[in-house]
Structures are given as structure tokens and as C-alpha cells.
Chains A and B, each alone.
Chain A
Amino acid sequence: MSGTTTSEVPSSLASSMRACETQAESVPCATQHEGTKQSTFIVFSKEFDKQLMAFTLANSAAASGMSVTMFFTFWGITALRRANPSRDEHGKTFIDRMFGWMLPRSSKGLPLSNLQFAGLGPKLVRWRMRRLGVSSLEDQIEMAQALGVHMVLCDTSVELMGLRRSDFRDGLEIGGAAACIAAAANSEVAMVI
């Protein structure tokens, strides 16, 4: 199991990486036991199918004894928004609020990358997943937290989308591009999703 797997890197990610170079030191994911294999998943996309794949792989890696870091940036952060955030929008500009309205409100509001059918697609996929006994995305997020997967939010993306830490679920870490690269550099598996 040597070698690094890297999927296609969107060109827009390069600029987001530059934008995310803040607060790298606050991420505790760089500490790991010697000998423990590591994997890093950079979650850039907001689509339900891509998020589901990211969490399935991260959970399998964690179940295989790897130390796992998921770094959420750009649209990917919307999956971690709190379903019922506090209604305190005080201090947010009109544009901030507009972003908040237009982006998915939580993992339950994510679109599909294909067969969206004006919102019918995700409902159909979720229904089929229930029928087949596939763990839901929400269960997988909980599972990842229970397995000790480090979920890191890109601070710059949060600001860029007009959101705040309080708009996101508990148990997340805050980090930047440097922390992400540090985790990826020590990883045997690193993927951009």
C-alpha cells in the first residue's frame, strides 16, 4: 500500500489553497502516532453523491486503522452547516445573508451532480439508499465523528461564503492550506473530491 492516489485537481482549487493560508497552527491533526498510516481527503464539492463518497472512503480508512483528515473547502463546507442554526444574523451584511440563503442549508439540502430533476433526484437516491440499507449521509457524518476522523473547516471559505463558525455543527476543527498540505504530505492516500 505505497504510492499516493490523487484524483483530478480542479484548477479553481489552486486559488482556494492560496486563499486558505490562515490559522494553520490551530489544527491538531498534525500530531499522529508513529507508524499509523494516514489519509487526507480534500472535500471541495457540495454535491450529495461526492460528499457521500468522501465520507464512505474516510470511514473505511478510519475503520482500517488509518488516521484520517477531511479538509473541507469552498462548496464542500456547506455539507457541515447546522440544520437549525441560531437565528442570530446580527452583524452579517446583506450579501453575507444572500450567500446563506442560496447555499445548501445542511447535508439534507445538497443537490446531486447528475439527475437532479429540480430536487427530485436527491429524494429518489435517498429513498433507494434506505431500501437497500445503505447508511445515510447524516449517519456517515456521525460515524466519521465517532471514529475520530479530523474534520477541518477552511476558515477563509467560511468567511467567503458569509457564514460563521456557529453556523456549523460541533466537533469541527479550523485550519488553512498549510495544515492541509502538512496532513497530505504525511499521507499514503490523498484525494481531492
Chain B
Amino acid sequence: MPIVQLAVALRDMEIGEEVEIEATDAAFLADVRAWSRLTGNELEELDGGDVCRVRIRKIDPDAAEDEDA
């Protein structure tokens, strides 16, 4: 499950740090967009082909809550 792997990777990252993830799962792009909306972590789409590649920037979870409200 790429989303779970992404979430686990984010645990050990500092705020503002970036991670790139590649997935072959056809639903990954839709999933990662939804995940980004829900968690507030910033998403940059690098490649939407057969192998989907995105870059995620970790944001401050507390700041995301304020934005949401």
C-alpha cells in the first residue's frame, strides 16, 4: 500500500522536508491527491504515466488544522 508507506516515511521526516515516491498502482494518483487534501501535506505531481511519480513536502500538522477550520 503506497499511501501507508508514504505515511510511515513521513513520520521520520522534519517539517519542510520532501520525499519522492513512485508507484505503479493505477489508483495511486487519485489516492495521493485525496490524501494530500486530507492531511494538508503539499503535493507536486512529477509524472502521471504508468509509473506515477510525486513529490510530497511535509507540513506542520498543527498549522494544517488551523487552515482546515
Are A64's CB and B1's CB within 8 A? no
A173 to B3 CA separation, bound complex (whole angstroms): 26
Closest chain-B Cβ to A4's Cβ sits at a distance in Å of 16
Closest chain-B Cβ to A33's Cβ sits at a distance in Å of 10
**Given A35-B65, A65-B61, does the pair A60, B4 have CB atoms closer than 8 Å?**
yes
Q: List residues of A (9-63) whose CB comes within 8 Å of B's CBs.
A: 35, 37, 56, 59-60, 62-63
Neighbouring B residues of A147 by C-beta, 8 Å = 4, 7-8
Are B38's CB and A64's CB within 8 A? yes
Q: Do most interface residues of chain B lie in helix, strand or loop, or is the interface mixed?
A: helix
Closest chain-B Cβ to A35's Cβ sits at a distance in Å of 5
**Given A35-B65, A62-B7, A64-B7, does the pair A143, B1 have CB atoms closer than 8 Å?**
yes
Tell me whether B19 is interfacial, beta carbon within 8 Å: no
- B-contact bits for A143-187, CB 8 A (1 contact / 0 none): 100110000000000000000000000000000000000000000
Tell me whether A1 is interfacial, beta carbon within 8 Å: yes
Closest chain-A Cβ to B56's Cβ sits at a distance in Å of 12
Interface residues on chain B, size class: 10 to 19
Chain A interface residue count, Cβ-Cβ cutoff 8 angstroms: 15
Closest chain-B Cβ to A160's Cβ sits at a distance in Å of 33
Neighbouring A residues of B7 by C-beta, 8 Å = 62-65, 147
A173 to B33 CA separation, bound complex (whole angstroms): 33
Closest chain-B Cβ to A96's Cβ sits at a distance in Å of 37
Tell me whether A135 is interfacial, beta carbon within 8 Å: yes
A-B contact pairs, 30 of them (CB 8 A): A35-B65, A56-B1, A59-B1, A59-B4, A60-B3, A60-B31, A60-B35, A62-B7, A63-B3, A63-B4, A63-B6, A63-B7, A63-B8, A63-B35, A64-B3, A64-B7, A64-B35, A64-B38, A64-B39, A65-B7, A65-B39, A65-B61, A135-B1, A140-B1, A143-B1, A143-B4, A146-B8, A147-B4, A147-B7, A147-B8
